Copies of this chain bind each other. A is one copy, B any other.
């Protein structure tokens, strides 16, 4: 691998980081290649040398997010309480890294449109998140740790939707929203056992 290739990869990483930051602040559509390029220290035409279109850059941002998530899920936690605790820890991490939440919340709302370049990404993301959580609720149902009569799929949808809704409200009025408290309340009312036994 030549130095040129390495430099190119580093530069591409810088651009993707700058893009993620700008998307988080302004959303995808309102972001300009010129602003992203400026933060990466090049011209917007230079940026287009690395990423041929605005959409290709968005794809790269989402791909990196997926790669990071994959690393985190490499842990391969077995379905059950630990998965729920893991998502709670993720929420705690997010509250300390506003940029990630910003990017995600804005893109998710833009991607409602079927013709948005990130629409398929979010449709898949939601389905995978619901499936993952539902699997854990099903495991908990078998051991009697899920409240009787609660549908695991509906519980999974509820948990994911709650996380998303809390994020937007927290970003808008940070001091008035207790993200972790709400998630713990929701999980504890769905379960028959405490999340964190003393």
A130 CB contacts on chain B under 8 angstroms: 176
What is the count of identical protomers in the complex? 2
Q: Does A154 sit at the interface, judged by CB under 8 A?
A: yes
A147 CA / B168 CA spacing, docked (Å): 27
Q: Assuming A105-B109, A109-B110, A113-B25, is B173 touching A169 (CB within 8 A)?
A: no
In the complex, what's the smallest C-beta–C-beta distance from A62 to chain B, in angstroms?
Answer: 15
Q: Are B109 and A168 in contact (CB under 8 A)?
A: yes
Which residues A19-47 have CB closer than 8 A to chain B?
Answer: 25-27, 29-30
Taking chain A's interface residues, is the majority helix, strand, or loop, or is none over half, making it mixed? helix
In the complex, what's the smallest C-beta–C-beta distance from A23 to chain B, in angstroms?
Answer: 12
Q: Does A157 sit at the interface, judged by CB under 8 A?
A: yes
In the complex, what's the smallest C-beta–C-beta distance from A128 to chain B, in angstroms?
Answer: 12
Q: Does A88 sit at the interface, judged by CB under 8 A?
A: no
Q: Does A67 sit at the interface, judged by CB under 8 A?
A: no
Interface mask (A59-75 → B, CB under 8 Å = 1, otherwise 0): 00000000000000000
Q: Assuming A29-B27, A151-B185, A166-B161, is B112 touching A106 (CB within 8 A)?
A: yes
Q: Assuming A25-B113, A106-B110, A173-B126, is B168 touching A186 (CB within 8 A)?
A: no
In-complex Cβ contact of A165 among B25, B110, B164 (8 A): B164
A164 CB contacts on chain B under 8 angstroms: 164-165, 168-169
